[in-house]
Structures are given as structure tokens and as C-alpha cells.
Amino acid sequence: FAALCAARASFSDWWDGGLRVSDRAAVDGTARSTMGSSFLVVLPVLFLEFLATSLTKGVLPHMLLEFFGDRTYSVIAVVETLKGLLAFYFCPHLGRLSDTYGRRSVLLFTVLGTCLPFCTLAFTENLWIYVAAQAVAGAFAATFAVTFAYIADTVDMDSRAPAYGLALATFGLSFCVGPVSGSYLAQKYSRKLVFTGTLVLTILDLIYVSLVLPETVPDDVREPIRLPISASPRFGFKDAVNTVRIGVRKVRSTVKGAWLHLAHGAGDVAHSLPTRMGLFISDAVAILLSSPLLRRVSEIVFLYYCGVWALVSTLMVFVTQHLHFTPIMVGQLLSAYGLCTMLSEGVLVRIMVPLFGEPFCVVLGLIGFTIQCTIIAFANEPYVIYCSMAGALLANLFYPSISALISKTVRADQQGEALGALNGIKSLCEVQCRRKSP
């Protein structure tokens, strides 16, 4: 239903608005020049991060059930809700900070914050530490947004959707390899080895970002983050606390000023949000209300991802309870979906988007998701679930196409913030569906 509502949303107005905005961006000179395949250097960051986290997918469910028992689903619901809310709030902030201080420094924080909960299990089996860290990890869930901004820095507007698709295909590859490898390591050796592997992959990812990944934000735009630490030899604990407070205020002021700059010209709606709804809502939403096109995009993204997260949060339970999938069959299904994502994002996007354009591919993705959900709803045999992947192939066109539309709409120095706001809307949908799912 959500996908159908989104697909119905004023396609012609959206198309015209997108063309007008793109033309204006070209006149202003904000479009990036093509830089060949230079964006490929950021893909290992995604692969290593999601490989590190996906290694645990086959092990964690059993550990959670053993540790929390009947409270498992309640604990997961609370953790995912907090994680989603933090992601909704912090994604635009992290995106804006990447616009100001550089992509590489922010990627270090997002990779470390996302992988840290899983790394803790290499040292302890106390899952309370894990769930607490996992809830806080929502504040760092912006790797995709910053990566997409990195791609926007190095790829021209017409080539961004295929480049985004290749990034998502990298995610699919890690999801194909990770769960199967983690399950094998746990069965052959021990669970701790799985989380040790996650720790090693995280360290490798951080080293890669620090030493190999080039920065794409120009030096004249980037500002170093400096805390005003006193050089006095009597610098003590109180001075340290005051220094941290000053630093936090400085970063907060920078982010707030960036939002006010972005909201300039957005009309009464955006300017009234800080006073009527508070900074919590305005930072993530007002960015997507700054033009009619972005407003429509935010509505479509919200409706679509309400449906996506509803499916994601219930599909494994559905196939287990109603179609009697075994754990091995569930792993095979997840790997098949990963392969489907790789094929769609790595091949189909690169063919469809240049031929038909982003708006048409967005609508095609919504139609594909509707087909996928319809097939799953009437599935009475395991093979029918695999048939639904025909719709999933088209559904995977949605995210790279919608991201490319947003990237074309905003200025070059707002890429991270706008794509972070998009990621925040996705996280808000996840909160609602996780809270209502069994």
C-alpha cells in the first residue's frame, strides 16, 4: 500500500521540477565534472564495514535468544527504536560535518561507531554491553550517506545513479559472503572467532580510510576541528571539562548555522520548524522541505520505506512460521537476496537509469516493490518466495535513483547534509516498523 501511494505521487510535476532544478544547477556551475572511476576507491570502505557486521548475522540471533530468553524481542525493539531515533537526528549533522570538515574524517567516526558494538563481543559475552553500544551506534549510522556524498564529489550528475548502484552492489556482495562465512566459522571453530574477525576487519577498514582513501572536499572549504586547549602548565580537570564544553558548543553552532544557511529561502514552513517543532525535527526534515521537489521526494521516501521496513522486519518470521524454513534455508534465502541486490545495483541500474532517467526508474522501483510484496503475500511454497525476487530486481532501482535526484538538486557543498537527511527519513521509518513488528 505504501509503495502504491508513493508511486501515485505527482510524477509529472516531479519530472518537470527535477528538470528545472537540474538546469539551474548547471547554470550555477555546481555540477561536478566526470572523474572516471575515481569513486571506486571508496567502495572498499563499504565492503569492509558491512562484511564486518554481516559476519555476525548467523550467530547473533541464537546468542540473543540464549541470553535474553523471552525478553529478546522486547530488547531488540527498544534497541532498534533508540538506534533509529539517533540516526534520524544525527545523520544530517554527520553529513553536514562531512561537507565542512571532509568525508574521510567523518567516515572514520561512522565506521568505528557502527562496528564497535560487534567488536565488543570479541572481549566479552555480556550482551547487555552489546545492546547498549548498538543503541548508541545509531548516532554513527551515516556511512552510506557520506559515501554517496563522496561519490557526488567525484562523479558528474548524469552518472551518479549508476555509481550509487555500484555502491549498493558492494553492500550486496558483503551480505552474500558475510553470514555464510560467519556461520561456518562459528560451527567449525567458535563464536568468539567470528567477532575477532569482525574486529580485524574493522581495524583494516579504519586503516584504509586513514591511509589510502583520498579526501574529496577541497582544502579551501575544509576546516580543521580544533579544541581551544590552553597551553598553561596549570591546565587541570576543570579546564578540560570547560574545553570539551566549548568544543561541543562550537560544533553545535557550526551545524546549526549550516542548517540556517540551508533553510534560507525555504519559505515559512522551514523557518517555522525550529520554533514550532524544535531543532530535533527541523535538522532532518527542513532540508527536505527547502524546495517542492525535495518535499515530494521526502514524502515518497517516507511512504516507500515504511513498506520496506515492514517487509524486512517480518519476512524471516513469516518464512519460518508459515513456510517452515530451516536455518540453512534462511541463510540460502539471504544469500539469494544479496545476489539479487548485486545484479540489480551493479548491472540493471547502469543500464536502466541512463536509458530512462531517474524519475522513471524511481516509479519502476515502486512498482517492482509492489509486485514483490504481492507475491510474498500469496506465497504457499518456498519457491514462491524466490519468485518474488523478480520484483526485488526492479525495487532495487529506487534508492540509487532517488539519491541521484537529491544529489542533482542541492549544491555541491550540501551533498552530505541532504543525503544524510534522506538517511534520517529512512531511519525514522525503521523505528515505526520495528516498534510494531512481532
Domain-embedded: residue 243? no
Number of domain units in the chain: 1
Q: Domain limits at 42?
A: 2-224+249-436
Could you report the per-residue pLDDT of 388-417, keeping only the tens digit for each?
999 999 998 888 888 887 777 767 666 666
pLDDT band at 116 (very low <50, low <70, confident <90, very high): very high
pLDDT band at 26 (very low <50, low <70, confident <90, very high): very low
Determine contact, residues 102/416, Cβ cutoff 8 Å. no
CA distance 91 to 274: 17
Which of 53-62, 106-115, 325-334 holds the top average pLDDT?
A: 106-115
- Provide the pLDDT for residue 159: 78
Domain-embedded: residue 236? no
Mean pLDDT of 294-314: 80
Could you report the per-residue pLDDT of 156-191, keeping only the tens digit for each?
877 777 888 888 888 888 888 887 788 888 888 888
Instruction: Select from 236, 185, 182, 241 the least CA-distant residue to 58.
Output: 182
- Provide the pLDDT for residue 5: 46
Mean pLDDT of 312-331: 74
| 419: pLDDT strictly greater than 60 | yes
Domain-embedded: residue 238? no
Domain-embedded: residue 229? no
| 201: pLDDT strictly greater than 60 | yes
CA–CA distances in Å: residue 361 to residues 301, 358, 372: 14, 5, 16
Residue length of the chain? 438
Which CATH number fits the domain that encloses residue 400?
1.20.1250.20
Domain-embedded: residue 242? no
- Provide the pLDDT for residue 37: 62
- Provide the pLDDT for residue 298: 78
The more confidently predicted of residues 331 and 69 is: 69
Mean pLDDT of 44-73: 85
| 255: pLDDT strictly greater than 50 | no
Which of 71-75, 374-378, 423-427 holds the top average pLDDT?
A: 374-378
| 371: pLDDT strictly greater than 70 | yes
Crossing angle of helices 127-136 and 72-101, in 10° steps, is 40
Instruction: Select from 344, 305, 369, 352 the least CA-distant residue to 166.
Output: 344
Mean pLDDT of 83-111: 85
Lowest mean pLDDT among 9-23, 30-44, 77-91, 399-413: 9-23
pLDDT band at 289 (very low <50, low <70, confident <90, very high): low
> What global pTM score does this model have?
0.66
pLDDT band at 101 (very low <50, low <70, confident <90, very high): confident
CA distance 374 to 9: 20
User: In this prediction, what percent of the chain has a pLDDT beyond 90?
Assistant: 18
Tell me which amino acid residue 67 is.
F
- Provide the pLDDT for residue 219: 67
- Provide the pLDDT for residue 95: 81
Instruction: Select from 214, 219, 217, 163 the least CA-distant residue to 41.
Output: 214
- Provide the pLDDT for residue 210: 92
Lowest mean pLDDT among 23-37, 181-195, 214-228, 237-251: 23-37
CA distance 383 to 401: 30
| 59: pLDDT strictly greater than 90 | no
pLDDT band at 246 (very low <50, low <70, confident <90, very high): low
Mean pLDDT of the chain: 74
Domain-embedded: residue 323? yes
Burial of 321 (0-12, 13-18, 19+ CB in 10 A): exposed
| 120: pLDDT strictly greater than 60 | yes
pLDDT band at 368 (very low <50, low <70, confident <90, very high): very high
Residue showing cell 576487519:
201
- Provide the pLDDT for residue 245: 57
| 27: pLDDT strictly greater than 60 | no
- Provide the pLDDT for residue 87: 82
Lowest mean pLDDT among 20-29, 55-64, 86-95, 325-334: 20-29
Instruction: Select from 295, 244, 223 the least CA-distant residue to 266.
Output: 295
User: In this prediction, what percent of the chain has a pLDDT beyond 70?
Assistant: 67
Domain-embedded: residue 128? yes
Which of 59-68, 129-138, 237-246 holds the top average pLDDT?
A: 129-138
Residue showing cell 580485524:
200
- Provide the pLDDT for residue 70: 81
How many H helices and E strands in the chain?
21, 0
Q: What is the largest CA-CA distance in the chain?
A: 74
pLDDT band at 367 (very low <50, low <70, confident <90, very high): very high
